[in-house]
């Protein structure tokens, strides 16, 4: 009686204790190679058909098999959600494809972004001037967010805030208002602090009139992470 067939487990699978790579059919290998060649940018289904010059039914079957082998995966493009895109499984989508940290499954996480912008706005308003590193450290210490932001991600948010005319970029000249920021160091300030801080729900920062402001610190007993007034402000 012949031994039962072993199920196919994908590239690098183990069969009866031995390591063996599956043999792809010519069409499957060609499709896999062109998709893998695009790296973290992925490849549109229409482009796969064009580049391989393989009839559509064969391309469709090859993609189905490669997906089952866990060699490729379908991904959602942040700007073109209705078009089929594929990528080799070893890659993670580039920011141009996924939208970066601000997107979830191809959709902008607007609530997350708004909360981060409010937090940064509040900090810059209280600090007069703040560098990217200062902002990054403050955001981390608030305990509001469950992730550590990269410097680039903070810069991306600051750039958006500049476009929305909430803040502006500056450089320290060593005056008292710049605090300990070194001369020539790039930093940020509110575009119009006097008007903006008394504006709408987004900009009416409670810290300016808080009686406990002098006792407030990121890691203290009183902090933005535990402040009930700050929570109410964030909910506006």
**What is the pLDDT averaged over residues 29-35?**
96
Helix (H, G, I), strand (E, B) or coil at 79: coil
The predicted-structure confidence for 50-63, as pLDDT tens digits, reads as follows 999 999 999 999 99
Do 129 and 230 have their domain in common?
A: yes
pTM of the model: 0.46
Asked if 32 and 148 sit in the same domain, the reply is no
Question: What is the CATH number for 21?
Answer: 1.10.10.10
Assess whether 18 and 123 both reside in one domain: no
Per-residue buried b or exposed e for 195-205, using 16+ beta carbons within 10 Å of the residue's own CB = ebbeeeeebeb
**Does residue 6 fall inside a structural domain?**
no
Q: Are 179 and 210 in a shared domain? A: yes
- Say if residue 227 is in the same domain as residue 114: yes
pLDDT: which is higher, 85 or 223: 85
26 with 125, same domain: the answer is: no
Confidence at residue 7, expressed as pLDDT on a 0 to 100 scale:
39
Q: What per-residue confidence (pLDDT) applies to 2?
A: 47
CA distance 129 to 180: 10
Beta strand pairing status for 72-75 and 167-171? Answer: unpaired
Mean local confidence (pLDDT), 138-156: 88
222 and 144 fall within a common domain: yes
Last residue of a domain, one of 100, 125, 158: 100
Q: Does 2 map to a domain?
A: no
Domain range enclosing 33: 13-100
Same domain membership, residue 132 and residue 30: no
Q: Is there a domain that residue 3 lies in?
A: no
Contacts for 96 with CB less than 8 Å, ≥ 6 apart:
41
Q: Are residues 54 and 84 in the same domain?
A: yes
Residue 80 within a domain: yes
Q: Which residues contact 69 (CB under 8 A, 6 or more apart)?
A: 8, 10, 11, 22
**Same domain, yes or no, for 201 and 157?**
yes
What integer pLDDT is reported at residue 9 of this predicted model?
A: 39
pLDDT band at 86 (very low <50, low <70, confident <90, very high): very high
Domain count of the fold of the chain: 2
């Amino acid at each position: 009686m012949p031994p039962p067939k072993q199920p196919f487990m994908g590239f690098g699978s183990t069969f009866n204790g031995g390591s063996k790579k599956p043999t792809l059919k010519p069409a499957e290998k060609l499709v896999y190679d062109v998709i893998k060649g695009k790296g973290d940018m992925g490849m549109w289904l229409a482009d796969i058909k064009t580049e391989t010059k393989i009839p559509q039914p064969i391309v469709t079957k090859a993609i189905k098999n490669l997906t089952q082998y866990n060699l490729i995966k379908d991904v959602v493009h942040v700007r073109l959600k209705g078009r089929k895109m594929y990528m080799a499984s070893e890659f993670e989508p580039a920011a141009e494809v996924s939208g970066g940290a601000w997107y979830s499954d191809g959709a902008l996480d607007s609530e997350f972004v708004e909360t981060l912008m409010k937090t940064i706005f509040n900090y810059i308003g209280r600090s007069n001037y703040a560098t990217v590193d200062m902002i990054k450290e403050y955001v981390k210490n608030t305990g509001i967010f469950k992730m550590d932001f990269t410097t680039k991600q903070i810069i991306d948010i600051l750039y958006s805030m500049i476009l929305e005319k909430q803040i502006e970029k500056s450089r320290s000249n060593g005056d008292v208002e710049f605090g300990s920021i070194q001369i020539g160091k790039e930093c940020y300030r509110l575009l119009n602090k006097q008007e903006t801080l008394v504006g709408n729900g987004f900009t009416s920062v409670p810290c300016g009139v808080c009686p406990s402001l002098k006792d407030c610190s990121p890691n203290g007993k009183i902090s933005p992470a535990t402040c009930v007034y700050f929570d109410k402000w964030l909910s506006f």
